[in-house]
Structure 1
Amino acid sequence: MKVFHKIKAQAMQFALLISVLIALLLSAFLLLTHVQSFFRIKSGELIEATETATLQILKSLEENNISQDTLVVKESDQTKKMIANYHGVWTKVFSEITVRNQKITKTAFIGSAFQEKSPNLYLANTNSPLVVVGNTRLEGNSYLPKQGVKAGNISGHYYQGSGLYYGNVFQSKEILPKLDDYWISYITSLTKGILIREKNSIALAGDLKNSFNKPYKIVYSPSSIVLGDEKIAGNVIIQSDTKIVVHPTTLLENTLLVAPHIIINDGVKGNIQIVASKKIEIGKNCHLSYPSSITLFDQTKTPKMSNSSSLQNREINFVIGKNTLIEGSVIYLPIQTKKQDRIKTNLKIEPGTEIIGEIYCQGNIEFQGTIRGSLYTKQCIANQSGSIYLNHIYNGKILINPIPDYAGLPFVNSKNKIAKWLY
């Protein structure tokens, strides 16, 4: 009898244990189901917020609004924020979506899109024809003075092409297509130090990184800044009141450099935006990857010269050295647009150099390299055999841009595209 009661007690204990285990398993299953459901909802919200942040930037391509003000919109359980302003040549658009105290951010550089009739060459109408010499080649859409284009020779070197151009020709106007006034105002303010603020200032260090989803950081010095072994990436601005020198051992990614005089030594590689107010020297065998930009907002005053020979020997303030590759935009803008020297070279591109993107020169350009994209200029110039040839292109090539989705300079009333998604 005792044995029977003992067995019965053990059976009840076992049954109770099984019941507890089943209850624990059921509770665990319910908890797991709840957790999975919770994370499924959260995951869905985050995916939706990420898509909304992206779509908000894509929608801004149509609006083309530049403002320092933050646009805030509240919709049900979401708060949308967006701000668009310039960063170098590009428009930086920041998009933020907040869902239940969780934030999703997206940032991108955007620029103007190339249209069907966008120029590959735009030469301002100065009432004189364009003269092509040597191995010059013009592809795509050429906007030329009403006198058109003709073949010529320089010191016995004649035009070698089978046709004068390979594409379409349209008549140009006296002025170049207009850049956005707000951007020019921004560049002016940038050279005057509008971004130099104590709360954003940091010291130069060997390794600097700052996300574009955060406010910019600036390394500022009133004296010269020499970059040697530094690694600098992201939303970082380097600004000097005198000069910046970059050595080939420097690693720069999306870095903005601002100074009166900027020197990029031979062999530099990186992704850089450059804004100078007096002089830019780009060395040989450099590679500035897309989307890079080089802007000289020339604030030097034209000195009074006694004769034309002195003008011919004047130093060129914007030179891009031999065998250099630049993917992006090259811009020359003078502060004195009405008092420019007719025969002074404002921008010189050495032989073997290639620009994939755009050149915008509100002055005289001399080049024997290759432009794969667009050239906008008041006048082409050739310095050969001790003489100056106006509106001549000697061994220069203007070819079709190989980047189908290229986004570039901030022209007035332009359609925009994404140049690069940032981090």
Structure 2
Amino acid sequence: MQFAILISVLIAVLLSAFLLLTHVHSFFRIKSQEAIVAFDQANRQLFESLEQDKISKDTVVSIVDIKTSKQFINYHGVWQKRYTEVDIHNQKAVKIAYTGTERSDNTPNLYIEDRNSPIVVVGATRLEGKSYIPKQGIKAGNISGKYYQGNALYYGRVLESKTSLPEMNPEWIRYLENIIQGDLIGQGEMIALEKELKNTFYNPLQVIYDRGPVFLDDEKITGNIVIQSGTKIIVGSGAKLTDVVLIAPEIIIKTGVRGSFQSIATKNIKIGRKCYLSYPSSAILIDKKIIKEDGQNNQLLYAKPDFVIDKGAVVEGVIVYLNKNKSTNNRIKTHVEIASNATVIGEVYCQGNVDFQGTVLGSLYAQQCIARQSGSVYLNHIYNGKILLNPVIDYAGLPFVNSKYSIAKWLY
């Protein structure tokens, strides 16, 4: 009798265990399916948001049946940071990405404002792709006895440019002006500079601020962090910066720096020799200086450029010079200098003059190209500069007006 009872109890326990195991398997299968659905819908929601460029500082929340969706779009340096979140029965999936303007069939490789002057190509200059140039066209020239070496004046198509550059999104310009005035200092969590810092983009922004100079040389800083100085930031070759945003009047990136970060300045930027800033990096100079030309001297001829990319440097991403004093007519002032053997893989956008002797694989937009050679300034001359096709098929870049967006980088 006792043996029969024992057998009955064992059978009951086994049946209970089997039922519990079946229930657990079913529960985890349902939860796994909900997690997969949440991930898929968060991913889809982010891609659908690429159709819009309206910035929303506040999180937009949508609740439909058992699904809660959240999303916001704001700027983070050059890029738009898009956040989407889907929650189904507490199974939450989050996707965050940098996005930028995608290339189209009409994207220029070279765009020079029409100022009633032809483009003159000299030396080893090579122009590939679509060139938007003044109606006076392209011609070959020489500087100090050095003539154009190409077999053709251009290798692609030539179209007529307008009297102004393609327009940037004004909302982005306002964002830049606000953050250089310290708008992020009140929004982010203030932290101290340490040897090693990491903050994921799932967490709130962290801000390091100093009224004096900030020197970065042996720090390793990664993620959703802004470093801002009231005077200057100097980045040494020992610094390891990833996805960080630097803001200061003056930013100096010394020889040999390697990383992937953004720089926003108001006075000058220098990217030193043999630096390698990988995609998606950016450097932006918002120039508010007022400089008047003096017809009695050559001070502008010998003035140092505001923005220098030195020899052997490589920047994968965006170079921007914005002139906030467009009323000044600095015809011979060099605003951006791209030295020989310097390379930009992406875009250069300059509301001023570019002295261009390096290589751009992508797009160069400028009011005017100038060449400073042999003690003279040659207007609308390109000397040894090369505009080549962008090798990055899915490149995403500057926020132009009325543009479509694509993914620049998935964040963590």
TM-score by length of 1: 0.95
The one-letter amino acid paired with 1:160 is Q
Match of 2:387 in 1: 398
* 1:242 is the counterpart of 2:231: yes
1:291-345 Cα offsets, whole Å, 9 max, x none, are 0000000122215646341121112111111101100000000110121300100
Q: In structure 1, how many angstroms separate the alpha carbons of the residues matched to 2:404 and 2:277? A: 25
Unaligned 5+ segments in structure 2 are: none
Match of 1:327 in 2: 316
* 1:119 is the counterpart of 2:108: yes
Match of 2:32 in 1: 43
* 1:25 is the counterpart of 2:14: yes
Q: In structure 1, how many angstroms separate the alpha carbons of the residues matched to 2:77 and 2:313? A: 21
Residues 301, 328 of structure 1: alpha-carbon distance in 2 compared, 3 angstrom cutoff: same
Mapped contact 2:371–2:378 kept (Cα < 8 A): yes
1:23-73 Cα offsets, whole Å, 9 max, x none, are 211111111110111111111111111111111110011122212122111
Mapped contact 1:53–1:104 kept (Cα < 8 A): yes
| Aligned residues: CA RMSD | 1.2
* 1:211 is the counterpart of 2:200: yes
* 1:134 is the counterpart of 2:134: no
Mapped contact 1:106–1:213 kept (Cα < 8 A): no
TM-score by length of 2: 0.98
Structure-to-structure mapping, 1:16-415, within 5 angstroms: 16-197=5-186, 200-303=189-292, 305=294, 307-415=296-404
Residues 198, 177 of structure 1: alpha-carbon distance in 2 compared, 3 angstrom cutoff: closer
Mapped contact 1:269–1:287 kept (Cα < 8 A): yes
Question: What's the CA shift for 1:198?
Answer: 7.2
1:4-23 Cα offsets, whole Å, 9 max, x none, are xxxxxxxx333332222222
The one-letter amino acid paired with 1:197 is G
Identity level (%)? 54
Mapped contact 1:340–1:363 kept (Cα < 8 A): no
Mapped contact 1:348–1:367 kept (Cα < 8 A): yes
Mapped contact 1:222–1:242 kept (Cα < 8 A): yes
Q: Tell me, what secondary structure is at the counterpart of 1:244?
A: strand
1:96-147 Cα offsets, whole Å, 9 max, x none, are 1122334321110000011011100001101000000011000000001000
Question: What's the CA shift for 1:364?
Answer: 0.1
Match of 1:7 in 2: none
Q: In structure 1, how many angstroms separate the alpha carbons of the residues matched to 2:384 and 2:293? A: 32
Mapped contact 2:38–2:91 kept (Cα < 8 A): no
Q: How many residues align?
A: 412
Residues 402, 210 of structure 1: alpha-carbon distance in 2 compared, 3 angstrom cutoff: same
Point out the more displaced range, 54-63 or 95-104. 95-104
Match of 1:5 in 2: none
Q: Tell me, what secondary structure is at the counterpart of 2:51?
A: helix
Q: In structure 2, how many angstroms separate the alpha carbons of the residues matched to 1:15 and 1:249? A: 77
Q: In structure 1, how many angstroms separate the alpha carbons of the residues matched to 2:307 and 2:27? A: 60
